[in-house]
Structure formats: C-alpha cells, structure tokens
A and B are shown apart, each in its own frame.
Chain A
C-alpha cells in the first residue's frame, strides 16, 4: 500500500504537474517525465479504439509486475494519473480527491493560466494533505 507519484496531463498531452512521493520508483528528470506523459496520452487514445465490443473508454489501470498506473479522465480531457503499488486499492478515491483539490485550488485561482504548468502553493499543500491521510 503506497503511492509513488502523481501526474496531471492537460488535454493536449502536456504534463502540467508532476510530483513523486517516497522512493518506490526511481526519480527521473523532468524531461523524461514529459516524454512519458506524452506517450501515455497517445496510448490512452489508441486503447479506446481497440475495443472488441462496442465503444470503450481508454485504459483505466495499467499494471506492471510491481506497480500500477491508475488514470482518471475528466470530461474536459484533463488526465489525473496515480502511480501506486499493486496492492493499493484506494487509488480511485485518491484521484477523486485530487480532482476536487484541482477544481478548488487551481481552476478557481485567477492567476492560473489553463493548460499551463500548475504553480499554485494551495494545490501543493492540498496534495500533501491528501497523500498523508
């Protein structure tokens, strides 16, 4: 049970927020995170087209052998991505709370430009609270 990372990807596939928690996964450079977020954005679009039965959402959970990636796609196209251990079963609720914090601390902030990197102290502290609870 551990949470190792949080990303926010805008609707164009750009990484606008990235934070690592603990050291369950290696820390990469911000450039590498940008590339990985772009890849994930592309894969997510393709997975929706591969459905063998009718229309499908994109990938919700991607699992490796020791960690999983949980993706929450909002109706506006913003993606919240959580990197956790395989046994973590609260990923969906955590993502909902992050979405709430995003709506409160980022979208209501008059100094924030939409689709641009998030540099809001309020959001940072809300995330810290969510992750420590």
Chain B
C-alpha cells in the first residue's frame, strides 16, 4: 500500500500544485508554456539547461541512447571519446524493450490535463446517472486508485494511491483544512485564483509531505 501522487486544480481547470512519492513511471517535464510556474519544481520545463538529457536523466526515447543502453558496446570502446552525451548508468534503468513505447512518454502537462478530463467527465457522469448533485468519489484500476475531493470554492484535490487503499477522501479534506488553508489561503504571498501562477511554497510542500508520510497507508 502506498500513495503515488497529489494534484490540485483550481476552478479554472489549471493544475496549481503537484507532488509525488512512490511513482516508478515518472512523467517527463512539461513543455514550455504548458504548465504554470510554482506548481512543482520537479516537472517544470528547464529552460537554462544546455542538454536536457544530461540533467533530467537519460532520455530513453532517443534512439541513440536506447541503443547504447541495450548493447553496452559504445560505452566500453573508447576512453578518449567525449562521454558527456551518454547517460550515466542507473540501477533502475527500464528494460530497453518497453523504453520506446509511447505510453511511457506522457509529459506532465499532458498528464495533468488527462487527469482533469477524467475527473470532470466522471463527475458529470455520476451527476447525470444519480439525477441529483451527487459527487464522484473514486475509481479503481488494476494498479492504482484515484480519489477526488472537491471544495465549495471549486478546488479539486486528486490523489492516486494503491488500488487496495480505502477511500482517502478524508485525507484530501485534511490537506485542505490543514496545510492548504494555513499556508496557501492565509498566505499573502500566494496569489489565489491568479490563472498565472501555482500555489507551491516551501511550507505547504513540507507540511503536506509530513502529513502524507504519517499515514498508515503510506508505509
């Protein structure tokens, strides 16, 4: 049992916060302009890096890198050759067979939009089927479970966890009632509802992290 990730969206459909924990399949960094600033430093496009694959880990979709990691020949040949374009060997490198598959290559902004789209469609589906103002709560697949908590002001808290976890709606409510109110709503330095900037700040990130790591489902 574990917890994978947390997304927060505002009422204008923008992703304003992201954090992840035990993900084995990380999203690629967002493309330029696809993501607001101050959402998550980990997935924000890195403009000032000269070579993106040197800093952000090996780019497995690149045909040359895939070849090198699969054969290992080029790495052993010549010490004088410039090594810098080659990725450093990683313990957790994925098998080359699955590396070029397009499903592993979602950028973060695409992923965030898909999550929002699924949540919104399911919300409308549940509302239509029940015939009243009923909320969508969660869904389960074979590898994860997605939970939704929506506040009165239209903020949507979305969490991905292990499929065997119970409903984590109360956790999302706790994040809202605790760290979110304390370090975002009551923080004069965070522009709420700006449509130009996320809500990421050190206090909120730390206190959310501490809360999630303290849960029994986190391990």
Interface residue tally for chain B (C-beta within 8 Å): 37
Q: How many Cβ-Cβ contacts under 8 Å join chain A to chain B?
A: 108
Q: Kindly state the separation between the CA atoms of A64 and B131 in the bound complex, as whole angstroms.
A: 12
B114 to chain A, nearest CB (A): 6
B11 to chain A, nearest CB (A): 21
Whether the Cβ atoms of B142 and A65 lie closer than 8 Å is no
Is residue B24 contacting chain A, with contact meaning CB distance below 8 A? yes
B-contacting residues, A46-67, CB 8 Å = 46-67
Q: Kindly state the separation between the CA atoms of A89 and B97 in the bound complex, as whole angstroms.
A: 39
Is residue A95 contacting chain B, with contact meaning CB distance below 8 A? no
Is residue A26 contacting chain B, with contact meaning CB distance below 8 A? yes
Whether the Cβ atoms of A52 and B114 lie closer than 8 Å is no
The one of A25, A32, A50, A60 that contacts B114, using a Cβ cutoff of 8 Å: A50
Whether the Cβ atoms of A47 and B118 lie closer than 8 Å is yes
Interface residues, chain B, CB within 8 Å of chain A? 4-5, 20, 22-25, 103, 106, 111, 114-115, 117-118, 121-122, 124-126, 128-131, 134-144, 146, 160, 167
A/B interface sample: 7 pairs, CB < 8 A: A28-B129, A32-B128, A47-B139, A50-B115, A60-B139, A64-B137, A65-B134
